[in-house]
């Protein structure tokens, strides 16, 4: 059912207000536009949540809303910023009002989230992505389906749990991710940086057989991946400052969501 025009208008206004609030850098001003759980998490992570010294904006930021899609009580909006980078922000209707809420993505399916959805669909494409198991993520990665949506989520989980297991063996989800079409990484530098973090995490585990995983098979896939991307392992594992991996969700990045 098409979304009511009123909902779309409300979300457009909310998106623009949120972008302005983010640039003004007043935490409670931003939190007031978020759903309750996200606002609490956001304020807990801010050094000075009561900071009230807004950045003076010379002019209102340019935000071009590309599309708004409403699915019941959750919605998404795609918008282009001044650098022409297209971002996505998620929303949830909470207590009768729309609020910015990154975890609303969990309640949407690949069918709803993908811009260029294939005409070949199956049950997993219609499931809310927040309900997909590790095995179901592995299956979709092996089919190279929903990569732009699922791969960032999987990489966050693998950074903390490199040997995440589907139904085959510890590390089978990692193997599926490593075998993603090599061309995809060139189009998604953030995902490539994420996989580099995962490789470091795998290296820190040492002998993978001690963790019940097939060491040679996994490292064979890692070696092939690094060769395809022209990334020397020695450069990845040398002591260095490694930024934490986050899913880029426009402006707000919540804590990682469990896949299982």
| Residues 143 and 81 both lie in one domain | no
Write down which residue in 79, 107, 135 finishes a domain. 107
Count H helices and E strands in the chain, helices first. Answer: 12, 4
Domain assignment present for 246: no
Tell me: pLDDT of 240 over 70.
no
**Stronger pLDDT, 221 or 247, i.e. the higher one:** 221
Domain assignment present for 9: yes
- pLDDT-derived band of residue 86, with 50, 70 and 90 as boundaries? confident
Please compute the mean of the pLDDT values over residues 18-35 and round it to a whole number. 94
Tell me: pLDDT of 241 over 70.
no
- Give dist(CA 205, CA 74) in Å, integer: 39
Please compute the mean of the pLDDT values over residues 62-75 and round it to a whole number. 92
| Residues 103 and 164 both lie in one domain | no
Tell me: pLDDT of 172 over 70.
yes
Write down which residue in 44, 76, 107 finishes a domain. 107
| Residues 176 and 147 both lie in one domain | yes
CATH number of the domain residue 24 falls in: 3.10.450.50
What is the domain range of residue 14? 5-107
Residue 114, pLDDT score: 85
- Interval 109-142: pLDDT, tens: 999 998 655 555 678 999 999 999 999 999 999 9
Helix locations, the chain, DSSP H: 5-24, 27-31, 36-44, 110-113, 123-126, 134-142, 147-160, 172-178, 182-187, 189-204, 215-228, 233-237
Mean pLDDT of the chain: 87
| Residues 164 and 136 both lie in one domain | yes
User: What is the number of domains present in the chain?
Assistant: 2
Tell me: pLDDT of 28 over 80.
yes
Are the CB atoms for 260 and 108 separated by under 8 Å? no
| Residues 160 and 223 both lie in one domain | yes
Domain assignment present for 165: yes
Which helix (H) or strand (E) element contains residue 79? strand 74-80
Tokens of 137: 């993520």
**Stronger pLDDT, 216 or 61, i.e. the higher one:** 216
Tokens of 37: 């759980």
Residue 1, pLDDT score: 52
Domain assignment present for 112: no
| Residues 124 and 212 both lie in one domain | yes
- Interval 198-239: pLDDT, tens: 999 999 999 999 999 999 999 999 999 999 999 988 888 755
Residue 251, pLDDT score: 38
């Amino acid at each position: 059912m098409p979304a009511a025009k009123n909902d779309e208008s409300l979300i457009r206004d909310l998106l623009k207000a949120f972008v302005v609030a983010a640039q003004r850098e007043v935490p409670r001003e931003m939190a007031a536009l978020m759903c309750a759980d996200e606002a609490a998490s956001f304020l807990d992570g801010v050094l000075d949540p009561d900071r009230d010294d807004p950045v003076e904006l010379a002019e209102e930021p340019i935000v071009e809303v590309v599309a708004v899609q409403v699915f019941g009580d959750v919605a998404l909006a795609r918008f282009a910023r001044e650098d022409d980078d297209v971002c996505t922000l998620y929303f949830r209707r909470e207590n009768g009002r729309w609020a910015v809420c990154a975890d609303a993505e969990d309640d949407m399916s690949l069918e709803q989230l993908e811009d260029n959805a294939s005409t070949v669909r199956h049950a997993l494409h219609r499931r809310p992505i927040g309900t997909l198991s590790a095995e179901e993520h592995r299956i979709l990665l092996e089919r190279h389906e929903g990569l732009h949506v699922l791969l960032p989520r999987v990489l966050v989980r693998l950074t903390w749990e490199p040997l995440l297991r589907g139904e085959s063996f510890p590390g089978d989800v990692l193997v599926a991710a490593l075998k993603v079409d090599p061309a995809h990484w060139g189009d998604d530098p953030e995902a490539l940086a994420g996989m580099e973090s995962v490789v470091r995490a795998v290296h820190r585990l040492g002998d993978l057989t001690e963790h019940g995983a097939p060491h040679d098979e996994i490292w064979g896939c890692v070696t092939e991946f690094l060769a395809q991307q022209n990334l020397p392992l020695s450069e990845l594992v040398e002591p260095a400052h490694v930024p934490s991996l986050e899913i880029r969700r426009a402006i707000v990045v919540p804590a990682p969501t469990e896949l299982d």
